[in-house]
């Protein structure tokens, strides 16, 4: 079977599988059932955030810990919501449908906690960075970080053919929309008054550039051949915003909020690896507490505008 045909078959089976799971977990209620929480957060480590020690102590599984400075936590405080009125199912390593704590798992958890209902006003989804795109191998930021620091082989366009980076042509708005559509429809039905918003990822590197930088132990390591990774970040951003248009949901342009404050800048809002200039124990390339505060502020403004 040709790869393109195999990918279409995999995509179709994933969508059908998602629909079956969501249908099976649907409660015997209607969209008018009272209840729901005001804010529901679905996402990966860019929503939950965390510390390197969490991964080391848990053998690579931090157990869906939510740090006190994560943007959803700061948003909850800004809005003045009770923690009981917020459902945060985000988790380190979360994916749309590839592995681990997927979108379906998170929707199911929120549903079991009666988080969706007429009272629900905002549902955020921040996923896609840890998913497989066009290959059988997920390309998480941990692998991207390794690719960037490989000064011998580099991380240029050839990395995709070598299985070290995703096929950028497969990361499209339509592909993203197809993978999340069933969950979005499900949320829209059971939380009819909620606005759904896809939350973009912060600026890690300036869009469109071929080189990239990672701060390790306070030393800036520049990878001049980084097009595979920087292109991946660009494509994910474009796919999210295009999918939002296709599905008629909202998109928070987090890149615009954090522009000029990526890795190795004079004032970085993302952490390096054991970098004393940011948060030494923070997840590499993930928002610092200040970066998360800026995302929380932008989300608060978006919610206030109604």
pLDDT number for residue 20: 52
pLDDT number for residue 180: 98
Question: In this predicted model, which residue has the larger pLDDT, 176 or 3?
Answer: 176
pLDDT at 238 over 80: yes
Give DSSP secondary structure letters for 154-216: --STHHHHTTSS--GGG--HHHHHHHHHHHHHHHHHHSTTPEEEEEPPPPSS-TT-S-EEEEE
pLDDT number for residue 12: 42
Closest CA to 111 of 26, 227, 206, 196: 26
Q: What percent of the chain has pLDDT over 70?
A: 82
pLDDT number for residue 133: 85
Question: In this predicted model, which residue has the larger pLDDT, 23 or 234?
Answer: 234
pLDDT at 27 over 60: no
Separation of alpha carbons 126 and 140, rounded Å: 14
Q: How many helices (H) and strands (E) does the chain have?
A: 11, 7
Helix 173-190 crosses helix 103-112 at what angle (to 10 degrees)?
10
Please return the burial class of 135, using the count of CB atoms within 10 Å of its CB with bins 0-12, 13-18 and 19+.
middle
pLDDT at 143 over 50: yes
The pLDDT tens digits of the residues spanning 58-80 come to 555 556 888 899 999 999 999 99
Give DSSP secondary structure letters for 231-271: HHHHHHHHHHHHHHHHHT-EEE-HHHHTTT-STTSSS-SB-
Task: Give the 3-state secondary structure of residue 282.
Answer: strand
Task: Give the 3-state secondary structure of residue 41.
Answer: strand
pLDDT at 160 over 90: no
pLDDT number for residue 168: 86
Q: pLDDT confidence of 260, banded at 50, 70, 90?
A: very high
Give CA 185 to chain center in angstroms.
Answer: 19
Q: Write down the pTM of the prediction.
A: 0.86
Q: pLDDT confidence of 277, banded at 50, 70, 90?
A: confident
pLDDT number for residue 142: 59
Q: What percent of the chain has pLDDT over 90?
A: 54
**Mean pLDDT, rounded, of the chain:** 84
pLDDT number for residue 64: 84
């Amino acid at each position: 079977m040709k790869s393109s045909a195999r990918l279409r078959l995999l995509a179709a089976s994933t969508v059908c599988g998602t629909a079956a799971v969501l249908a099976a977990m649907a409660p015997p209620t209607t969209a008018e059932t009272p209840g729901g929480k005001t804010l529901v957060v679905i996402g990966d480590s860019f929503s939950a955030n965390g510390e390197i020690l969490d991964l080391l102590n848990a053998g690579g599984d931090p157990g869906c810990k939510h740090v006190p400075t994560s943007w959803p936590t700061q948003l909850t405080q800004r809005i003045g919501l009770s923690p009981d009125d917020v459902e945060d199912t985000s988790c380190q390593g979360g994916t749309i449908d590839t592995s681990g704590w997927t979108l379906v798992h998170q929707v199911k958890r929120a549903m079991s906690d009666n988080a969706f209902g007429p009272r629900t006003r905002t549902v955020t989804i921040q996923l896609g960075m840890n998913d497989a795109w066009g290959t059988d191998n997920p390309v998480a930021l941990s692998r991207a970080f390794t690719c960037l620091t490989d000064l011998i082989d580099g991380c240029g366009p050839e990395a995709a053919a070598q299985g070290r980076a995703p096929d950028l042509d497969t990361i499209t708005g339509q592909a993203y929309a197809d993978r999340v559509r069933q969950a979005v429809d499900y949320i829209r039905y059971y939380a009819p008054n909620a606005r759904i918003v896809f939350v973009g990822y912060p600026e890690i590197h300036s869009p469109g550039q071929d080189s990239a930088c990672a701060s390790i132990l306070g030393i800036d390591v520049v990878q001049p051949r980084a097009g595979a990774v920087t292109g991946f970040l660009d494509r994910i951003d474009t796919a999210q915003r295009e999918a939002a248009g296709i599905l008629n949901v909202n998109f928070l342009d987090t890149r615009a909020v954090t522009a000029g404050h990526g890795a190795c800048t004079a004032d970085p809002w993302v952490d390096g690896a054991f970098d004393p200039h940011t948060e030494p124990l923070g997840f590499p390339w993930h928002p610092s507490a200040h970066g998360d505060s800026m995302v929380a502020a932008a989300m608060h403004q978006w919610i206030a505008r109604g």
